Amino acid sequence: MALQPVQLVQIGAYVGDSGNDPLFELFRRYAADPEGFHDRRAILAEPVARYYRQLFANCLQFPFLQCENVAVGPELALRPLYALTPVAEARRAEIPEWTSQLGSFLPHRVSELWDSYEHAKRPDDGDAIRAFLNANTVAHQVLTVTLDQLLLKNGWESFDALQIDAEGYDYEILRTVDFGRHRPVLINYERVLLRDQEAEARSLLTAHGYKLYDTYADTLGVRSDFMHLV
């Protein structure tokens, strides 16, 4: 059974149309639907201003998408988010494209978390990439809103699906979801950088009635009472 309407929130959207974005091809299919897209909509949140501007441009072709230049967290605040400097990012020949996506509230994202996950996958060039990132990552002040504030700004009372890619901050976002008010059918988050918080994230979702399925780097939670409909 198809879920109608589909209301999706993506936290950490980056520029949208990138090689590893999990949703942009879905948006293209929505736009090509001959029945239209009046029953489908999404909020895409990206806190880094220069990525947001590209995200906004990439989404102009899809009127059912709403882009927001914010991060999501426990309260309304300005917070430091650690990401590459614009000058360093322009030196694209020196680093892989995916490194632009490593913005995180965690200052140790390019040190301890890198060593525990990314570096092990790149034995040949890991040291050079890590050194470049450490030398060129700085704190950017970004606006953080709560999930409920993000929904309220866009006139939403609920949502059906939640996609999170927050570079190790995913559990902190998950724990701000008011499951007494919101019961999204699908929740997908990046688990591989959670380290000790991975077990807490799993416990949180299972306690609220989700079945969990692990993919390469993510975990998908499907609401248990929806399982017989899919």
Q: Is residue 1 assigned to a domain?
A: no
pLDDT of residue 73: 96
The angle formed by the CA atoms of residues 190, 169 and 40, to the nearest 5 degrees, is 60
Same domain, 50 and 111: no
CATH number at residue 68: 3.40.50.150
Q: Is residue 176 assigned to a domain?
A: yes
36: helix, strand or coil: coil
Range of the domain at 102: 85-137
Same domain, 221 and 159: yes
pLDDT of residue 98: 75
Same domain, 191 and 131: no
Q: What is the DSSP letter of 117?
A: I
Q: Please tell me the total count of domains within the chain.
A: 2
**Strand intervals (E) in the chain:** 6-11, 40-45, 65-68, 71-72, 77-84, 137-145, 161-164, 186-190, 210-214, 218-223
pTM here is: 0.89
Same domain, 119 and 22: no
For 41-99, the pLDDT digits (tens) are 999 999 999 999 999 999 998 989 999 999 999 999 999 999 888 877 766 566 777 77
Same domain, 152 and 131: no
Dist. CA 142–CA 118, nearest whole Å: 25
For 126-182, the pLDDT digits (tens) are 778 888 888 888 999 999 999 999 999 999 999 999 999 999 999 999 999 999 999
Instruction: Locate all alpha helices (DSSP H) within the chain, ordered by sequence.
Output: 24-32, 49-59, 86-90, 112-113, 119-121, 126-136, 147-153, 170-174, 197-207
Query: Which residues have a Cβ under 8 Å from the Cβ of 32 and sit 6 or more positions away?
Result: none
Same domain, 48 and 155: yes
Same domain, 48 and 30: yes
**Could you say which of 98, 119, 137 is where a domain stops?**
137
pLDDT of residue 228: 58
Dist. CA 35–CA 11, nearest whole Å: 28
- Burial class for 162, CB neighbours closer than 10 Å (0-12, 13-18, 19+): buried
